[in-house]
Amino acid sequence: MSDQIKKPNRIKPELPSGFRDYGPADAIAKQAMIDTIRKTFERFGFDPLETSSVQRTEVLTGGEEDSGKIIFNVKGSQEETSDSSLRFDLTVPLARFMAANPDLPKPFKRYQIGNVWRGERPQQGRYREFLQADVDIVGSSLIDADAEIATIIYTVFKNLGIENFVINYNNRKMLDMLPKFAGFPEEKLWDALRIIDKKDKIGEDGIRGELEKNFSGSIADKILEFLTEDFEPTLQGEGFSEYGKIASMILQSTGCDVDMVNKFFKLERTLVRGLSYYTGSVFEVTLPDAPEIGSVCGGGRYDELVSQFTGQNIPAVGVSFGVDRLFAAMEKIGTLKKKQTLTQVLILQLDANLKDEYLSMAQELRNAGINTALYMGDDSMLKGQLNYALKKEIPYVVICGSREKEKNVVTVKNLATREQQEITREKIVEFFGKQAALCV
Amino acid sequence: MSDQIKKPNRIKPELPSGFRDYGPADAIAKQAMIDTIRKTFERFGFDPLETSSVQRTEVLTGGEEDSGKIIFNVKGSQEETSDSSLRFDLTVPLARFMAANPDLPKPFKRYQIGNVWRGERPQQGRYREFLQADVDIVGSSLIDADAEIATIIYTVFKNLGIENFVINYNNRKMLDMLPKFAGFPEEKLWDALRIIDKKDKIGEDGIRGELEKNFSGSIADKILEFLTEDFEPTLQGEGFSEYGKIASMILQSTGCDVDMVNKFFKLERTLVRGLSYYTGSVFEVTLPDAPEIGSVCGGGRYDELVSQFTGQNIPAVGVSFGVDRLFAAMEKIGTLKKKQTLTQVLILQLDANLKDEYLSMAQELRNAGINTALYMGDDSMLKGQLNYALKKEIPYVVICGSREKEKNVVTVKNLATREQQEITREKIVEFFGKQAALCV
């Protein structure tokens, strides 16, 4: 290997701002999370769907301006102009897919785990590329579907080992009653909702101040009255009764008792969620042990989104788990299981004459389902190769030199306990077959 | 649900040219392929790495012009100009990662399975977004590493159920000897290689014609002599001896006999592969049963790629499996196992009074690891719900009406055989636990 410098103008090995890599230890932990989420979705009868990362810009913006300025435009080197962009969520591409495939049997239950891109200003724990895990039921207007989504949220968090989570629930049908109750015109609903949505940031006093800039004092009072926790349920109509139905189905479908359900499933009357496409249930999950991460899962019912393509409404409900934010939260809480490698055994290469033996051992162990590496570095000495295994945190090494070969044995060393033992060459698969469970 | 048309100007639910979706049946089959490939990589001691999809354009082009015009530029709505692009492979981002993380223990064995984007003209079976599965050993100059990559190729194809494949092998060190042997200046090597590389497209006569346009007749003769299959091995130096060493290690590490290895591991003296960064072994896999798909896996040794960032060479070897092309090939050959759904059981909703019972059954089955859906459509009748299960190709339905409830039984129907039987309510998990293996 020569050390010649090929390019005098070296290129900085940097990433664009707002993007990141996952090194092996992080990628192993993230992959385990993805596997858990995927298996949970499949248990509930969802199948995978894979939509394209690149979509027509018009599809993503709904034909309107990209008001949030979050879309990444994509342009090929051979193109003069471009009308394509990277998806910013997995919901809009799903709606497009449903519109393009009207004959799919419904309800259509799909999950998708894929990256999305948003050109937002990068900040702590927020990146411009991030992985979403979405689960949606399309073609069911039953409240059962909303309840199933809530049950899936519960089950995903349990399966990830997160015990302390809150599913904040609200219902757009309740918020839709606000103009009539408070006595302001329907057109001003979104002015009110935009203010209410800021409660986490500016507090109740802040909301009152902003409301009074847009509404009369008595209307502002009525709006705040509507949002109080013990506001008269009978005045809240269908949205409130849907909340009750969902809570009662969660009871049945999780096996939790009432106190437990009340602890993690909470009516949060000020929850709006920015997207205007929601029409009923709205969910947003927060982790009390990592409040600075914000929402780690959110979604709701969007019965009218598909209609922008077909003119016909198809009811739909679903949520999106923010896998990278969940990763950051679990890392902070301490529930993320990290390890440096998935490799269980490293076979050292100590004697060039025994290469065939090393290759055969590796093949036998791999065939038995044991993740096995053969040392391939520059160091021909035992000590250097052991050091490599220690740095990589590989649990076991197999040592076989001419002495072992003559005796028809191998030495197996556990690098955690530093214990080593000689085993008969033929017993190597049996030995690691038994140990494999311990290495995982 | 209202049918009102929300937007008078409806948006066409189309994808940009060159992009595609994978519907559930395709996505299930593709996910199974990915799982197989990933498990195989892990068996050989590779760990996952996840690099960013978006990279600085300069990193991707090596600071030179995008000569192939294949790069997709990415620009945020808030940005005036952009120096970021979508990765076109997983190798360059890996080299960048290695340069940015110089202290990683080496050899560094990583795999990555991720999408890449190329702005090429779309054609049959080729898309502008496609999934690559890459496996690379960085920091080993040993020929053992090249041999391990060849063994992994063999094992991946075997594990995917593809019996008929050819690993075409060549070595840049052999091709590098061409100028001296044929008597032309080193600077003209790439002119010759570009012509040789076209052999599949224009045949040997075509190559001769093009060579004679660029070289004298006697040099062209020497070039063609160098490429003949039985060309004197001793004149081919280290590259040829590496071929022999790899073949002999494949023998040991696969358990194949010599005839088998000769059948799938072939020296192909005209194999160049376009990328100039290869420095030794070059691999390209073709499927004789799907020749029109072209290469489904390719790669080689690239000892100097990392140096463009650091000035210091780090030896590396690896290959990339083209998952979407492999998908298309397996579909054509008939080795792709397709099914419409992963759901094993559908519980029908026939009686609103029994909803709690349905929810409990679903929870029990899911807890036992059985993929279970609850019917959530509009049809309240048995026939309609059965039709849904048939269309979705769900193997089993559970029927429980008031009659069954009273008898404390459920009726289980196998939709493939149309057989049905009554089982005690408490035996439902046990029943499907036994059947689960059959449903998969």
Contacts A341 to B, Cβ<8 Å: 45, 47
Chain B touched by A317 (CB under 8 Å): no
Q: Which fold has domain B345-439?
A: Rossmann fold (3.40.50)
Max mean pLDDT among B203-217, B224-238, B266-280 falls in B203-217
Residues 145-174 of A with CB under 8 A from B: 145, 148, 155
Distance (Å, whole) CA B371 – CA B361: 12
The string of pLDDT tens digits covering residues B377-402 is 999 999 999 999 999 999 999 999 99
Residue of A nearest to B41 (CA): A371
| Residue from the list B1, B28, B97 with its beta carbon closest to the beta carbon of A48 | B28
Per DSSP, helices labelled H in B44-170 are 57-61, 91-100, 143-159
Chain B touched by A44 (CB under 8 Å): yes
Burial-class residue A172 by CB neighbours within 10 Å (0-12, 13-18, 19+): buried
Distance (Å, whole) CA B355 – CA A64: 43
Distance (Å, whole) CA B362 – CA B412: 14
| Residue from the list B50, B141, B369 with its beta carbon closest to the beta carbon of A22 | B50
Question: How many inter-chain contacts (A to B, CB under 8 Å) are there?
Answer: 339
Distance (Å, whole) CA B15 – CA A56: 6
Residue contact B7–A63, C-beta within 8 A:
yes
Scanning the structure block, which residue is given the tokens 């499907």? Answer: B432
Chain B touched by A52 (CB under 8 Å): yes
Scanning the structure block, which residue is given the tokens 């103009």? Answer: A179
In angstroms, what CA-CA distances link B33 with B20, B40, B233, B320? Answer: 18, 11, 39, 14
* Contacts with A427 (C-beta within 8 Å, 6 or more apart), sequence order: none
- How far the first Cα of chain B sits from its last, in Å, is 37
Contacts B308 to A, Cβ<8 Å: 6-7, 10-11
Confidence band (pLDDT; 50, 70, 90) for B66?
Answer: low
Residue contact B377–A139, C-beta within 8 A:
yes
Scanning the structure block, which residue is given the tokens 């999370």? Answer: A33
Residue contact B77–A69, C-beta within 8 A:
yes
Confirm if A24 and B47 have CB atoms less than 8 A apart.
Answer: yes
Per DSSP, helices labelled H in B44-175 are 57-61, 91-100, 143-159, 172-175
Contacts A304 to B, Cβ<8 Å: 6
Chain B touched by A288 (CB under 8 Å): no
Domain positions in chain B:
24-333, 345-439
Residues 342-401 of B with CB under 8 A from A: 342-343, 346, 349, 355-356, 359-360, 362-363, 366, 369-374, 376-378, 388, 391-392
**3-state DSSP call for residue B10?**
coil
Whole-model pTM? 0.94
Confirm if A84 and B17 have CB atoms less than 8 A apart.
Answer: no
Residues 241-260 of A with CB under 8 A from B: 249, 252-255
Long-range contacts of A358-361 (CB under 8 A, 24+ apart): A358/A400, A359/B249, A359/B252, A359/B253, A360/B252, A360/B253, A361/A398, A361/A400, A361/A410, A361/A428
Mutation to test the B interface, candidates A77, A246, A361, most B Cβ within 10 Å: A77
- At B376 the pLDDT is 97
Long-range contacts of B9-12 (CB under 8 A, 24+ apart): B9/A63, B10/A308, B10/A309, B10/A310, B10/A311, B11/A58, B11/A59, B11/A62, B11/A63, B11/A308, B11/A309, B12/A56, B12/A309
- At B440 the pLDDT is 41
* Residue B82 tokens, joined: 């952009």
B24-333 CATH:
3.30.930.10
- Residues of chain A scoring pLDDT < 70: 1-9, 65-68, 122-125, 275, 435-440
Q: Is the pLDDT of residue B410 over 70?
A: yes
Distance (Å, whole) CA A279 – CA B38: 40
Chain B touched by A142 (CB under 8 Å): yes
Distance (Å, whole) CA A90 – CA A53: 9
The amino acid that residue B245 corresponds to is: K
Chain B touched by A13 (CB under 8 Å): yes
Confidence band (pLDDT; 50, 70, 90) for B2?
Answer: very low
- At B411 the pLDDT is 98
| Residue from the list A63, A76, A107 with its beta carbon closest to the beta carbon of B9 | A63
Q: Which backbone phi and psi does B429 adopt, to 5 degrees?
A: -65, -45
Indicate if ipTM > 0.90: yes
The string of pLDDT tens digits covering residues B200-226 is 888 888 999 999 999 999 999 999 999
* Residue A112 tokens, joined: 């998708």
The string of pLDDT tens digits covering residues B341-367 is 999 999 999 999 999 999 999 999 999
Average of pLDDT values for B53-71? 84
* Contacts with A35 (C-beta within 8 Å, 6 or more apart), sequence order: none
Residue contact A360–B252, C-beta within 8 A:
yes
- At A99 the pLDDT is 94
Average of pLDDT values for B68-78? 86
* Residue A35 tokens, joined: 């596997």
- At A4 the pLDDT is 41
Confirm if B133 and B115 have CB atoms less than 8 A apart.
Answer: no
Secondary structure in 3-state letters for chain A: CCCCCCCCCCCCCCCCCCCCCECHHHHHHHHHHHHHHHHHHHHCCCEECECCCEEEHHHHHCCCCCCCCCCEEEEECCCCCCCEEECCCCHHHHHHHHHHCCCCCCCEEEEEEEEEECCCCCECCECCEEEEEEEEEECCCCHHHHHHHHHHHHHHHHHCCCCCCEEEEEEHHHHCCHHHHHCCCHHHHHHHHHHHCCHHHHHHHHHHHHHHHHCCHHHHHHHHHHHCCCCCHHHHHHHHHHHHHHHHHHHHHHCCCHHHHHHHEEECCCCCCCCCCCCCEEEEEECCCCHHHCCCEEEEECCCCCHHHHCCCCCEEEEEEEHHHHHHHHHHHCCCCCCCCCCCEEECCCCHHHHHHHHHHHHHHHHCCCCEEECCCCCCCHHHHHHHHHHHCCCEEEECCHHHHHHCEEEEEECCCCCEEEEEHHHHHHHHHHHHHHHC
Confidence band (pLDDT; 50, 70, 90) for B438?
Answer: very low
| Residue from the list B76, B86, B308 with its beta carbon closest to the beta carbon of A11 | B308
- At A120 the pLDDT is 77
The string of pLDDT tens digits covering residues B113-162 is 999 999 877 666 679 999 999 999 999 999 999 999 999 999 999 999 99
Mutation to test the A interface, candidates B54, B87, B113, most A Cβ within 10 Å: B54
Residue contact A75–B70, C-beta within 8 A:
no
Residue A267 pairs in a beta bridge with A169
